[in-house]
Structure 1
Amino acid sequence: MGEEKAGISQKELKAFLTGKVIELKEVNDGVFSEGIMGEGMAIIPENNLLYAPADAIVSVLMQDSRHACGLTLENGMELLLHVGIDTVDMNGDGFRYLVSEGQKVAAGTPLLEFDRDKIKAAGHRDVTVCIVTEPAGAENLRFMTGIKGEAGITSVAVFE
């Protein structure tokens, strides 16, 4: 029975921030919004903490810019969580990792703290994207957009 429960938990992604969940095309940045990096969704944040959307291993941390991280789920699915648009230009100012590369995290674990005011002062938007860079056989991936997501609670994507 425990295996069944674990399987169910890995069939959804929880909100990685609290805020309005939007379609990627609404990001309107020319890269994420075009689906070039993969399918996904974005959240316009109301808070300053990025959370793990599922149980995963922290597979990539951008040590210089600290604005993004990669996660690998137990089923092999890979996610890119990217805080803000063009925030790589900030060279890490206003971003602080709360996890280490290789660390196993549970859904709802805080991953990254960011300063929304610094992002806006630098002339960037704080809209944050979650991209499925490797679906790993997941099928019928569906994103729940147009809703308010509560970090770690609201389901924002389901798959088979």
Structure 2
Amino acid sequence: MFGLFKKKKVTYEMKAVVDGAVVPMTEATDPVFSSCALGNGVVIRPTSDVIVAPADGTVTVTMDGSNHAIGLELTGGLEVLIHIGVDTVNLKGEGFEALAKTGDKVKAGDELIRFEREALEAKGYCMEIMQIVMEGEHSGDVQYTTGVTAKAGETIVGIWQ
């Protein structure tokens, strides 16, 4: 009656993890990512060298030894995998510095990984950043923003309720 007991829907935001041009996941260079086999999300063509947390949450997985990817569970239940570059696992950590570890609580904008973008591009690596929303309860609810130039930790690239 009168909406007194209705739950208000909370809107959650996922921000860009790095500075750069944001494009749909279907435009990723690597066919595994562009097929959305791992999940949907956005690709950022980076212009900076630091990956930041897209929202408050907890680090759920790090790639010890290679440091080329990190997983987070964001406040609001969304699980996100941030994958730096294509085939960069082959570098065995060269050019990557982990700044967070599994279990860390992070705030939006906290630095997670530093990487040597220009040096790795000079070696022939595609350094696209895949910000992948893993399949789960809220994955189908995310509305993505692409076609923008993002500022890490500031530009909203996804929202959900």
Whether these two folds match at TM > 0.5 is yes
Matched residues in 1 for 2:139 and 2:69: separation?
A: 23
Matched residues in 2 for 1:150 and 1:33: separation?
A: 23
Say if 2:85 and 2:126, in contact at 8 Å, map to a contact too.
yes
Q: Is the alpha carbon distance of 1:139 and 1:25 closer, same or farther for their aligned partners in structure 2, counting shifts above 3 Å? A: closer
Aligned with 1:119: secondary structure?
A: helix
Q: Is the alpha carbon distance of 1:47 and 1:86 closer, same or farther for their aligned partners in structure 2, counting shifts above 3 Å? A: same
Tell me by how many angstroms 1:120 deviates: 1.2
Matched residues in 1 for 2:151 and 2:16: separation?
A: 6
> One-letter code of the match for 1:103?
D
Q: Which runs of 5+ in 1 are unaligned?
A: 1-6
Aligned with 1:96: secondary structure?
A: strand
Counterparts of residues 4-153 of structure 1 (less than 5 Å): 7-8=10-11, 11-137=12-138, 139-153=140-154
Aligned residues: 153
Deviations 1:24-64, CA, capped at 9 Å, x for gaps: 11113110100000110010111000000010101100001
Matched residues in 2 for 1:44 and 1:159: separation?
A: 23
Matched residues in 2 for 1:104 and 1:14: separation?
A: 17
Q: Is the alpha carbon distance of 1:31 and 1:92 closer, same or farther for their aligned partners in structure 2, counting shifts above 3 Å? A: same
Aligned with 1:81: secondary structure?
A: strand
Matched residues in 1 for 2:14 and 2:47: separation?
A: 19
> One-letter code of the match for 2:157?
V
Tell me by how many angstroms 1:130 deviates: 0.6
Tell me by how many angstroms 1:73 deviates: 1.5
Say if 1:90 and 1:122, in contact at 8 Å, map to a contact too.
no
Tell me by how many angstroms 1:138 deviates: 5.1
Matched residues in 1 for 2:28 and 2:15: separation?
A: 19
With the length of structure 1 as denominator, give the TM-score of the two structures. 0.90
Say if 1:98 and 1:111, in contact at 8 Å, map to a contact too.
yes
Superposed CA RMSD in Å reads 1.5
Q: Which runs of 5+ in 2 are unaligned?
A: 1-9
Give the percent of matched residue pairs that are identical in Structure 1 and Structure 2.
Answer: 38
Matched residues in 2 for 1:139 and 1:36: separation?
A: 14
With the length of structure 2 as denominator, give the TM-score of the two structures. 0.89
> One-letter code of the match for 1:133?
M
Say if 1:79 and 1:134, in contact at 8 Å, map to a contact too.
no
